[in-house]
Structure 1
Amino acid sequence: MNRQPGLSVRLKLTLSYAGLVMVAGVLLIAAVMVAFRLIPPDGVVITVRYSYYEGILRKFLPASGVMLALLLIFGLVGGWILAGRMLAPLSLLTNATRLAATGSLSHRIQLPGRNDEFRELADSFDAMLAQLEAHVAEQRRFAANASHELRTPLAITQTMLDVARKDPNSSTGDLVDRLHAVNARAIDLTEALLLLSRTDQGSFTREAVDLSLVAEEAAETLLPLAEEHDVLLETSGDVAFTVGSRALLLQLTTNLLHNAIVHNLRTGGIVQVEAAEWAEAVVLTVENTGEPVTPELLSTLTEPFQRGAERLRSDHGGVGLGLAIVKRITQVHNGTLSLMARPDGGLRVTVELPRGELGAHAIGKSK
């Protein structure tokens, strides 16, 4: 925004301080003059009061003028110094803001001293810079990973087409099947990226959602996949209402179940899904058998494109965004996500979501 040049805040404070000192001086001089006028010294008769007052004025007014000039100089110099000291933290804030505007987010003000309004502002600015730096770093990491992941199916497609073009005797049907599989993977990845972007925006309609019904719907949808992998899918729990997007919460539950089915034992695996309601929260728990999960692997499972290579099966491996999407959906619903490795192998994933007033109202209607 283009603005007209104006006085600096320091100069305004200086003039205000000097003006206040001058007003106080003028009022003091006026009070002394009134006192001399109304209360003449003893022995002075009324008839000569005014001549006495005029003599006092001739002596007092020049001295008052000198005093006012000194007060003005003192007010200007003192006000300038005091304003500079008071506004010194603002210069640090301004420099930090200019550095941030150039893209440098690593700078911190770290204003010393006891807590006051300026230090609260500086601390809030430092916290904002830290969040922005972490967010930008995460976005850059995500963009790099997404570019790599999207480039992979395109490179595979290009290679298969080059081979088929050089070999006219190759099977067209086999090429079509392989291209179809690669294209399906690219579509799944793109849809996952779009869903993750939608959750980042947080633009969705909130309504009362029963997690127990969402869990049943997700389990019914993935039942064929569970049977294909020889996994027993068990659901349990009571009515558990929360407030949020039913579509996103269904996606969250579906991702958790899909992950639990795919990363399971090769035969005789079990997946248990439970929805529960606490005093101020609702909890969705998905627990599955499987191979042991190391602490190092557990800490990376919610990061984008981390598929858990130690547990990955050759089919239905996903695009590495399942738990990352679960984490983001949980965050935009003001919930918490926790992953715990089971002692005998597999994972226990817990999603805790707030139980809002709308959820309680919906429960009352459902009874």
Structure 2
Amino acid sequence: MSVRLKLTLSYAGFLMVAGALLLAAVWVFLLRYVPDRAMLINPDDTPTHGVFPIRSGLLNVFAPRAAAVMVFLLLFGLVGGWILAGHMLAPLTRITHATRMATNGSLSHRIRLPGSKDEFRELADAFDVMLARLEAHDAEQQRFAANASHELRTPLAISKALLDVARTDPNHDTGELVDRLHAVNTRAIDLTEALLLLSRADRRSFTREHIDLSLMAEEATETLLPLAEKHGVTLETSGDIAPTNGSQALLLQLTTNLVQNAIVHNLPDHGRVWVHTSVRPKTVVLTVENTGEQLSPQLVSTFTEPFQRGTERIHTAQTGVGLGLAIVKTITQAHDGTLTLTPRSSGGLRITVELPATAP
């Protein structure tokens, strides 16, 4: 049976039970005050011969009318219950229609259920929010796939061009050709590994363990110290022990990406990078700041998008493959954290990663 029919039968059944109880109460009330038998009295106050039954006569009058009332209540309950159930279940019909459209691939449809704030309205609003997120995620995935295809096609096209040159020009310098092919191949490998890391973090397919975020910061800065010296950037690390729970490899990758990004995108000379960890009541915070050019909030908001680079960010050996901050964002979300990018008033960028804290 459909839900509407079940509700109709439930309404009608409840109305029948209530009517039966009411009639039973009326009958019991009548029995309390009506004698079983009575004697007729003449006008001169002398009783006549014979005793007349009252209760049986009353039952003969009450029973047919009670049966008629029960039949009326049954019909009224069925008709009224069917109409009432249809009205109550109308929002579910709209939600079902929207679900079928989403199943067929239409994520732009919204329910926008009118009326007061009840359970159906909350369900419809939650479904609309889910559709909006799915639509945004689908658009982001399509954009990411297009960008990834473009980024992977570039080194392959360069390799094909270099090989064509070598094949048509036997006197070409093979040493230079090998070096350029090696650089292009290295970039393709780095991009592929970054895409795999991004996919792994997005699926949350990793083992969680107790991690001290301050140790991750120290290890990342020590590893990248030669790169900082090459760029003339001063690294400063400070802060408290920051215990959290997650993947050591992914959190180290997150910290390394942040520090490397701060080193590469810095002032040409005498740049500085500050790496700081702190503890809040329920979270631990990793903050990476760097000097650099003035950045607008609109430009900063695009840095976590895959393959997005700032105004001066171009393909070089140091800039990576354009997935550094996208990987940071995905790892942060996989660890139930928040990522905040803020331009510094004096130039440069401040990046804050906040993760759930655990007991040391």
Relative to the length of structure 2, the TM-score reads 0.89
Hey, what does 2:2 align to over in structure 1?
8
- Equivalences for 1:115-154 in 2 at 5 Å? 115-154=117-156
Instruction: Give the 3-state SS of the residue equivalent to 1:103 in structure 2.
Output: coil
Hey, what does 1:201 align to over in structure 2?
203
Hey, what does 1:218 align to over in structure 2?
220
CA apart distance, 1:38: 6.0
Larger Cα-atom Rg: 2
CA apart distance, 1:313: 7.3
Cα-to-partner distance string for 1:233-290 (whole Å, 9 max, x where unaligned): 2222232222222211110110011111111223332222222233433222222222
Cα-to-partner distance string for 1:323-348 (whole Å, 9 max, x where unaligned): 11112212222222222223343222
C-alpha contact 1:274 1:285 (8 A) present in aligned 2: yes
Q: Does 176-185 or 123-132 show the bigger shift? A: 123-132
Q: Which runs of 4+ in 1 moved over 6 A?
A: none
Q: Match of 1:26, as an amino acid?
A: A
Q: Does 1:25 align with 2:19?
A: yes
Change (3 A) 1:48 1:170: farther
Q: Match of 1:323, as an amino acid?
A: L
Hey, what does 1:274 align to over in structure 2?
276
For this pair of structures, how many residues does the alignment match?
351
Instruction: Give the 3-state SS of the residue equivalent to 2:329 in structure 1.
Output: helix
C-alpha contact 2:35 2:54 (8 A) present in aligned 1: no
CA distance in 2, matches of 1:302, 1:35: 78
CA distance in 2, matches of 1:67, 1:280: 65
Hey, what does 1:88 align to over in structure 2?
90
C-alpha contact 1:307 1:319 (8 A) present in aligned 2: no
CA distance in 2, matches of 1:28, 1:296: 71
Of 61, 73, 76, which residue of structure 2 is paired with 1:74? 76
Q: Match of 2:340, as an amino acid?
A: S
Point out where structure 1 has 5 or more consecutive residues left out of the alignment.
1-6, 363-367
Q: Match of 1:25, as an amino acid?
A: G
CA distance in 2, matches of 1:341, 1:20: 65
CA apart distance, 1:55: 3.2
CA distance in 2, matches of 1:189, 1:169: 32
Of 333, 336, 344, which residue of structure 2 is paired with 1:334? 336
CA distance in 2, matches of 1:279, 1:65: 70
Instruction: Give the 3-state SS of the residue equivalent to 2:234 in structure 1.
Output: strand
Instruction: Give the 3-state SS of the residue equivalent to 2:211 in structure 1.
Output: strand
Q: Match of 1:227, as an amino acid?
A: E
CA distance in 1, matches of 2:160, 2:259: 34
Change (3 A) 1:290 1:346: same
Change (3 A) 1:301 1:66: same
Instruction: Give the 3-state SS of the residue equivalent to 1:44 in structure 2.
Output: strand
Instruction: Give the 3-state SS of the residue equivalent to 1:235 in structure 2.
Output: strand
